[in-house]
A and B are shown apart, each in its own frame.
Chain A
């Protein structure tokens, strides 16, 4: 069964460093998403991406964040200068077009980012 994969599973970085979180969405999906979950808090929407551009982003997704689909398979989230409060589990998701928002979003297992 096709699945969304994410690497690495755990990333530890120093405050101020850049990190890139990688996702491989399901191959025929065209919508891509990043969510994050700070320990003990809700899963929060960060950004959605379609047709090589951002469709929507939340207030959390400021200039420190960027997303990219560098090739036909990867979808990345970059944090330019990490802060302590960026420590969270980051989930990638993908979905198929066609029926709009009722399409199921398939989630990856997440990358746990720890900023020291």
Chain B
């Protein structure tokens, strides 16, 4: 079975500070990993994904994540937070199948203080 754990339901950073949102996964097969962002009253938008190849993945809006198999982690980072980054962030995992269902973590709300 697959699962995702996001450490910290709320993270608060100052504008310009480093953003680090943690995600650990459990998977019996090589995982496919995703980060989604949800702004208020909007759907989930894909930030970035890891499928195969390079373990450091760059996404939209300056975010990146590194797949670390030994740590079963896929933490999301951004060097300098912007006010517009305030949103809810979801880590998700999927396995090789013909359905591609996503299994989500609990979500982390990012607050950016001026």
Residues of A near any B CB (own CB < 8 A): 4, 31, 33, 35, 41-45, 48, 50, 55-56, 58, 91, 93, 95, 100-110
Contacts and interface: CB of A to CB of B under 8 A. Distances in A.
Specify the main secondary structure of chain B where it touches its partner: loop
Contacts of B102: 35, 43, 45, 105
Contacts of B96: 100-101
Given A35-B102, A110-B43, 5 more contacts: A41-B106, A55-B99, A100-B97, A108-B43, A109-B43
A77 to B, nearest CB: 15
A58 B51 CA distance: 24
16 contacts: A35-B102, A41-B106, A42-B107, A43-B44, A43-B107, A48-B99, A56-B101, A100-B98, A101-B94, A102-B32, A105-B102, A107-B36, A107-B43, A107-B45, A109-B42, A109-B43
A56 to B, nearest CB: 4
Interface string B75-90: 0000000000000001
A10 B24 CA distance: 33
B100 A100 contact: yes
Contact of A44 (B42, B45, B104): B104
B45 to A, nearest CB: 7
Interface string B29-54: 00010001000011111100101000
Contacts of A4: 43
Contact of A102 (B49, B103, B104): B49
B95 interface: yes
A33 B43 contact: no
A103 B95 CA distance: 12
Nearest to B95: A101
Contacts of A55: 98-99
A56 B46 CA distance: 22
Contacts of B51: 102
Contacts of B103: 45
A97 to B, nearest CB: 9
A91 B38 CA distance: 12
Contacts of A106: 43, 46
A97 B95 CA distance: 16
